[in-house]
Amino acid sequence: MSDKLPISEIKKIFDETDVNNLGELIQNFKDDERSGVVNIIKRANKRIDDYNKELKRLETMNYFENTYDNFEYICGIDEVGRGPFAGPVVAGAVILPKGFDIMYINDSKKLSEAKREELNKIILE
């Protein structure tokens, strides 16, 4: 099947496929030995690994919320600045609804500006 498709088309198919369906797609193209397809499959496997790591990170992050779920509100906080010894610090806090999991939410300093903007839209919805 894959020998008939140009590599650019295969790349497009993989790029447009949800991470949960990549395993099946990888199986469909695993016998294609063209180096471009091999690289596409490697990137797809990395996407799957990164996704699974993120799910595990969220599970770990939610441990606190799940442990104290009898509390009505649990607040997440973040700070910006160099700390109290080197200057001003600005802190922000947010309370999200229970079960409101957002993939890739993290310390703002670990996120690109584009990812922060994307997450901001999700949070404000």
Q: What number of CA atoms fall less than 13 Å from residue 57's CA on the CB side? A: 12
* Predicted pLDDT of residue 103: 87
Q: What is the pLDDT of residue 79?
A: 76
Give the three-state DSSP class for 100: coil
Question: Is the pLDDT score of 3 beyond 60?
Answer: no
DSSP H/E element including 119: helix 113-124
pLDDT at 2 over 70: no
Convert the pLDDT of each residue in 71-116 to its tens digit: 888 887 877 766 566 667 788 888 888 777 888 888 777 889 999 8
Residues 13 and 26: their CA atoms lie apart, in Å, by: 11
* pLDDT score, position 82: 64
pLDDT in tens, 29-66: 999 999 999 999 999 999 999 999 999 998 888 888 88
* CA pair distance 86, 102, nearest whole angstrom: 32
Contacts of 64 (CB under 8 A, 6+ apart): 74
User: Is the Cα torsion angle 77, 79, 84, 89 positive or negative in sign?
Assistant: negative
**Would you say residue 68 has pLDDT above 80?**
yes
Quick one: how far is CA 15 from the chain centroid?
15
* Of residues 88 and 18, more confidently modeled: 18
- Spatial contact of 76 and 100, defined as CB atoms under 8 Å apart: no
Residue listed under structure tokens 């200057």 = 87
Give residue 1's pLDDT: 53
